[in-house]
């Protein structure tokens, strides 16, 4: 049986050997730094991160683990375990996310917005969950499209929805508030601070953590249930 570490190394090589990785890191740093440096409010940071930096990161990291069916079959023959392949993909993608998480946190500490570290990490974790589940497709294009759609559109929709509540002077009920935390902890936190959402962030963070973990688990558990037509 092929060791898990060897399979992880294989996927890390796919992601890390691409020069685009450094470019993505640079984009994330620049966008996040600029959004805090050039603006007096941290809303720009939340907005830029949610609809630009995080989705770009997810699509880039995802493209390193998404595989067309012919490559999936090749790798299945090479590593001889669907389960190990899916676990390795998740671990490799997670390792690739770590430098971005660290940079993100350092920038927040530098600008004295440490309270945004937890929701931004969780926002990235939710996007990571969506990206992991998208890897179940047998087509790179489909997986990338799904990741873009969900990682970009969900936070945007949550922001639009909560803004509407705010403009009408209403408060979302517990279900909507929970969904807001599920799909975009950063925006939910912002609207909590603004007094629009009443649900305590601790519960919201728990929801989003469980939700993202659930997506990752579904991918790992169900990856061998899907058919691959050569």
Partner 1 sequence: MEDINIKAENVTKYFGNVVALNRISFEIKGKRIAILGHNGSGKTTIISMLLGLLKPDGGCIAINGVKSYENHKWVENNISFCFEKGKFPFHIKVSSFIKELREIRGRKSLVDELVSELNINRFENDFINELSSGQEQILYVLSTIASQNNILFLDEPFSHLDVFVRSKIYNYLRSSNKEFIIATQSIDEAELLCDTYVILNDGNLIWQGNMTELYDDKTFEVIPNPDLPDIGLNVIYTIENRYICEGNEGEFSKLVKEHKVIGFKRAGLRKVYGKIKQDY
Q: How far is the CB of 15 from partner 1 (least distance, A)?
A: 9
Residue 50, Cβ density class (10 Å: 0-12 exposed, 13-18 middle, ≥19 buried):
buried
Reference 117, options 215, 36, 197; nearest CA is 36
Q: Which is nearer to partner 1, 19 or 195 (CB)?
A: 19
Q: Based on CB atoms, which residue is closest to partner 1, 14 or 145? A: 14
Nearer to partner 1, 18 or 142 (CB): 18
Backbone angles phi, psi at 194, to 5 degrees: -80, -5
Q: How far is the CB of 75 from partner 1 (least distance, A)?
A: 7
Distance in Å, CB of 71 to partner 1, minimum: 5
Binding site for partner 1 (CB under 8 A): 1-2, 6, 10, 13-14, 17-18, 67-68, 70-71, 73-75, 77-82, 224, 227-230
Nearby residues of 188 by Cβ (< 8 Å), 6 or more positions away: 119, 158, 162, 177, 180, 181, 197, 199, 201, 204
CB of 90 to partner 1, least distance (A): 16
With respect to partner 1, which residue has the nearer C-beta, 35 or 67? 67
Q: Please, are residues 170 and 205 in contact by the beta-carbon 8 Å criterion?
A: no
């Amino acid at each position: 049986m092929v060791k898990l570490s060897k399979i992880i190394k294989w996927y890390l090589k796919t992601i890390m050997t691409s020069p685009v990785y450094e470019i993505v890191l640079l984009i994330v740093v620049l966008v996040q730094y600029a959004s805090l440096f050039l603006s007096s409010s941290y809303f720009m940071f939340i907005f830029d991160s949610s609809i630009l930096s995080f989705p770009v990161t997810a699509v880039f990291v995802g493209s390193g683990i998404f595989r067309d069916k012919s490559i999936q079959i090749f790798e299945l023959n090479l590593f001889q375990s669907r389960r190990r392949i899916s676990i390795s993909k998740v671990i490799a993608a997670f390792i690739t996310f770590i430098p971005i998480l660290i940079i993100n946190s350092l920038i927040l500490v530098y600008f004295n917005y440490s309270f945004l570290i937890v929701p931004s990490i969780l926002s990235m974790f939710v996007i990571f969950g969506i990206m992991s589940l998208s890897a179940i497709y047998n087509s790179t294009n489909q997986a990338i499209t799904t990741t873009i759609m969900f990682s970009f559109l969900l936070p945007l929709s949550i922001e639009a929805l909560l803004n509407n509540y705010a403009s009408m002077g209403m408060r979302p009920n517990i279900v909507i508030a929970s969904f807001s935390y599920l799909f975009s902890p950063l925006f939910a936190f912002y609207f909590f601070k603004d007094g629009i959402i009443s649900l305590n962030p601790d519960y919201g963070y728990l929801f989003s953590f469980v939700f993202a973990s659930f997506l990752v688990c579904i991918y790992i558990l169900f990856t061998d249930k899907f058919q691959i037509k050569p």
